[in-house]
Amino acid sequence: MTLLVREDVFLRPGEWHFGDAPERIRTLLGSCVSITLWHPRLKVGGMCHYLLATRSETDGALSGRYADEAMLLLLRAMLATGRPIKEFHAKLIGGAAVLPTIERNLPVHDVPGRNIDAARTLARQLGLNVQAEDVGGTSARLVMFDIDSGDVWVRQTQVSDISTEPEIRREKR
């Protein structure tokens, strides 16, 4: 009998991770968006947790806080596998309008909408195979991505009902 210990990686805003089975990547999203990428044969994948679609000025160093830069960081890891981008499965999650209604209705404050648009645009530009989307709405999301199976579980909840960092458990299989 083989004992497999699952390692959970928790992403905070602006972080990303690319790894292999048996890792699971988890995060908590409000207006932020996560993109998961998974290769079914290699059982490798990654996820980012970005806050904004783009930044106005760059300082030379890539930051996972912005959609385009987070995707570039993940793209480098994907290409390092030696497999074509089209073989990876993508899922887009998040972009909830969790702020009060007055702020949500002002176009300048539509951070969630811009974040969702950025994820869709990047996926289309890169020719990613988008398997599923769980975007928009007004509820925060707890997300768990299992790199072994490629499954992504999403639980929508109110921000006031959850802590900022869920307890991390190790599971034996």
pLDDT digits (tens, 9 = 90+) for 111-159: 999 999 999 999 999 999 999 999 999 999 999 999 999 999 999 987 5
Enumerate the β-bridge partners of residue 129. Answer: 89
The phi-psi region of residue 26 (left if phi > 0; otherwise alpha if psi is between -120 and 50; otherwise beta) is beta
Q: Structural domain of residue 139, as residue ranges?
A: 9-54+63-161
- Tell me the whole-structure pTM to 2 decimals: 0.85
Reply yes or no on whether the pLDDT at 54 is more than 70: yes
In a domain, 39, yes or no: yes
In a domain, 168, yes or no: no
Reply yes or no on whether the pLDDT at 172 is more than 50: no
Q: Are 48 and 34 in contact (CB under 8 A)?
A: yes
In a domain, 3, yes or no: no
Q: What percent of the chain has a predicted confidence (pLDDT) above 90?
A: 73
Number of domains in the chain: 1
Query: In the prediction, which pLDDT does 157 show?
Result: 84
In a domain, 100, yes or no: yes
Residue 43: give its domain's CATH number: 3.30.1330.200
Query: In the prediction, which pLDDT does 159 show?
Result: 57
In a domain, 2, yes or no: no
